[in-house]
Amino acid sequence: MAVLREIRVKARQILPPVLAVCVMGYFAYHSVQGERGYLALLRVKHELAEARIIEGELWAERARLERHVDLLQPDGLDPDMLGERARFLLNYGLEDEYIVLKEQPAGQ
C-alpha cells in the first residue's frame, strides 16, 4: 500500500506541470501550424502580393483599352485608327502594303 500511496503523491506533484507543458505545446503548435497561425499568415501575404501584381496588370490593360476607345469616339476619331480597323474587319489591304501574319500561340 505504501508504494501505491507514494505513486499517488508523485502523480499529484508531476501531473500539473505535465498538463501545463502539454497545453503550452498545443498552443505553440497551433500558433505556427494552425489555420490562423504564422505559416497561414505568410501564405496570405504571398497571395496578397500576387493579387496586387494582377491588379496592376489589369489596371494597365484597362488604361490601354480606354485609350483605344477614346481614339474611336466620334468627336476625336483618328483616321489612321479608322483605316486600320476597317482594313482589319473587311480583310482589305492597300496595293503597296505587305501583310505579315503571326501564328497564334496554342490555347488562344
Enclosing domain of residue 21: 1-33
Enumerate the H helices of 34-108 as residue ranges: 38-71, 79-90
pLDDT at residue 54 greater than cutoff 90: yes
Which residue matches cell numbers 505535465?
A: 18
- Domain identity same for 86 and 54: yes
pLDDT at position 108: 58
Which distant-in-sequence residues (6+ apart) come within 8 Å of 70 by Cβ? 76
User: Whole-prediction pTM value?
Assistant: 0.53
Domain count, the chain: 2
The answer to whether residue 13 sits within a structural domain is: yes
Residue 31: pLDDT band with limits 50, 70, 90: very high
Report the C-alpha gap between 55 and 71 in whole angstroms.
Answer: 24
